[in-house]
C-alpha cells in the first residue's frame, strides 16, 4: 500500500490515521452519566406482549446506524439487518417459526431445558411475530464475497454480530422501544423468506415495538455485581 506522508507539528501524518474524537469529561460528570445509564438499562426487560402500534422507522434506522458502529473483526462488519414491516412476510415468518418451536417444545427440548424456561412462561405460540410492528432479522456473514465473486475471509463473526446486537438492543431501549430477542432454532427459513445469500447465517430475530398496555414480565432478577465480577 502507498502512503503519502506529510508532517504536521513535526509529526508524520498520512490519511490512514485521523485524530481521535474523544471528549474528556470531569469525574463528576462521568459518574453522573454512568449512573444515569445504569438506571435506564436496568429497566430493559424482554417483552413478549407487543402492541400493534406503529413505531417511527427513523428510530429503528438510528438504532441500526448505532449497531453498525460496533467493534468487529478486522472491520469487515460481518452483519446484515433486514427490517420487516410487511404483514405477509411477518405472517410467513410466524408460521415458519412456530413450526420450529412446536418441534422444540414437543420433541427436541430436554426436560431440564423446559424446566429452566418455565419461569418465563414461553411456549410454541408466537403471535407477536405477526402483530408487532417491526421484526429485525439479523444475519451473520460467515464470509464475504469480493468483486470477482470469490470468498473473502471474515473474522470473529459471531462475537462481532453479538456485540452489534447488544448495541442495537440498547439503542432501541434508550429510544423508548421494547424488544424481544427471539431465536427459533434452526432459523434457516429466514434465508428463504427474506431472500438472503448462503454466506449469511440467521443470527437473531429481534421483535421491536411498544409493549401492550399492562404487560406483565417474569419476576426474575439479575445477579449482583459481586456475583458477576472480581476486582483483583
Binding site for ligand IYR (CB under 6 A): 101, 104, 117, 120, 122, 182-184
Task: Find the shortest distance in angstroms from Cβ 205 to ligand IYR.
Answer: 9
Q: How far apart are CA 119 and CA 99, in angstroms?
A: 22
Comparing CB distances to ligand IYR, the nearer of 35 and 185 is 185
Burial (0-12, 13-18, 19+ Cβ within 10 Å), 15: exposed
User: Which set of grid coordinates corresponds to residue 125?
Assistant: 405460540
User: Which set of grid coordinates corresponds to residue 148?
Assistant: 470477482
Q: How far apart are CA 129 and CA 131, in angstroms?
A: 6
Task: Find the shortest distance in angstroms from Cβ 184 to ligand IYR.
Answer: 6
SS3 state of residue 16? coil
Comparing CB distances to ligand IYR, the nearer of 3 and 113 is 113
Contact between residue 50 and residue 178 where contact means Cβ atoms under 8 Å apart: yes
Task: Find the shortest distance in angstroms from Cβ 30 to ligand IYR.
Answer: 34
Task: Find the shortest distance in angstroms from Cβ 121 to ligand IYR.
Answer: 10
User: Which set of grid coordinates corresponds to residue 54?
Assistant: 406503529
End-to-end CA distance of the chain: 43
Comparing CB distances to ligand IYR, the nearer of 104 and 156 is 104
Comparing CB distances to ligand IYR, the nearer of 49 and 101 is 101
Residue 159 burial (CB count, 10 A): 14
Task: Find the shortest distance in angstroms from Cβ 145 to ligand IYR.
Answer: 30
Comparing CB distances to ligand IYR, the nearer of 56 and 186 is 186
Looking at beta carbons, which residue is closest to ligand IYR? 122
User: Which set of grid coordinates corresponds to residue 30?
Assistant: 462521568
Amino acid at each position: 500500500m502507498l502512503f503519502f506522508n506529510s508532517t504536521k507539528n513535526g509529526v508524520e501524518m498520512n490519511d490512514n490515521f485521523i485524530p481521535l474524537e474523544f471528549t474528556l469529561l470531569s469525574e463528576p460528570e462521568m459518574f453522573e452519566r454512568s449512573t444515569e445509564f445504569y438506571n435506564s438499562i436496568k429497566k430493559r426487560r424482554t417483552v413478549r406482549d407487543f402492541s400493534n402500534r406503529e413505531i417511527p422507522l427513523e428510530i429503528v434506522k438510528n438504532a441500526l446506524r448505532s449497531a453498525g458502529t460496533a467493534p468487529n473483526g478486522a472491520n469487515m462488519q460481518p452483519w446484515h439487518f433486514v427490517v420487516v414491516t410487511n404483514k405477509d412476510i411477518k405472517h410467513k415468518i410466524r408460521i415458519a417459526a412456530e413450526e420450529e418451536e412446536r418441534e422444540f417444545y414437543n420433541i427436541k427440548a430436554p426436560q431440564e431445558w423446559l424446566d429452566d424456561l418455565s419461569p418465563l412462561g414461553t411456549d410454541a405460540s408466537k403471535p407477536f411475530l405477526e402483530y408487532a410492528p417491526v421484526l429485525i432479522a439479523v444475519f451473520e456473514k460467515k464470509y464475504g464475497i469480493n468483486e470477482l465473486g470469490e470468498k473473502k475471509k471474515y473474522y470473529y463473526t459471531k462475537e462481532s454480530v453479538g456485540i452489534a446486537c447488544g448495541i442495537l438492543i440498547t439503542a432501541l431501549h434508550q429510544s423508548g422501544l421494547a424488544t424481544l430477542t427471539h431465536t427459533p432454532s434452526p432459523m434457516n427459513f429466514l434465508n428463504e423468506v427474506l431472500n438472503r445469500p448462503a454466506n449469511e447465517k440467521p443470527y437473531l430475530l429481534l421483535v421491536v415495538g411498544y409493549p401492550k398496555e399492562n404487560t406483565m414480565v417474569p419476576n426474575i432478577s439479575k445477579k449482583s455485581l459481586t456475583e458477576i465480577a472480581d476486582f483483583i
